[in-house]
Amino acid sequence: MNGFLVIFFTQQNRRYHGKMVGDWLVDLANELGLRGATMGTAIEGFGHTGRLHSAHFFEIADQPIEVRLALTAEECTRLFERLETEDITLFYIKTPIEFGTLGKQAEKAGAGG
């Protein structure tokens, strides 16, 4: 199947509607019926401001977060149209990909898993 890999970048301490932005994005993907979303953390990174964001032993609030989604073109359109209605600023990467499921269990589960 062809589609897009969309990766959103944020920090642990960013909140939107009372939730961590990463959690909000995962919940939004679920609400929209998307096939899945994965949230991961990084040790450190920096963004357009040049400010270093990192996870320290005593303080993880500034830890970099990524939310990754493998989407069909239609799912991607629905997600971005919804995000345009929100009052949020997000940096993202969107790149064309091929994706699917391998293995005998995948055949039994069907296309969506």
Q: What is the pLDDT of residues 35-66, one digit of tens each?
A: 999 999 876 666 666 665 555 545 555 678 99
8 A C-beta contact, residue 19 and residue 27: yes
Look at 48 and 71; give whichever has higher pLDDT: 71
The more confident residue out of 15 and 113 is 15
Residue-level pLDDT at 13: 84
Please check the confidence at residue 113 and state whether its pLDDT lies above 70.
no
What 3-state class would DSSP assign to 72? coil
Residue 50: predicted pLDDT: 67
CATH class for the region spanning 2-101: alpha beta
Q: What is the pLDDT of residue 45?
A: 62
Residue 54, classed as helix, strand or coil, is strand
Q: What is the DSSP letter of 57?
A: S
The residue extents of the domains of the chain are 2-101
**Dihedral pair phi/psi, residue 108, rounded to 5°:** -70, -35
Please write the tens of the pLDDT for every residue from 1-12.
Answer: 999 999 999 988
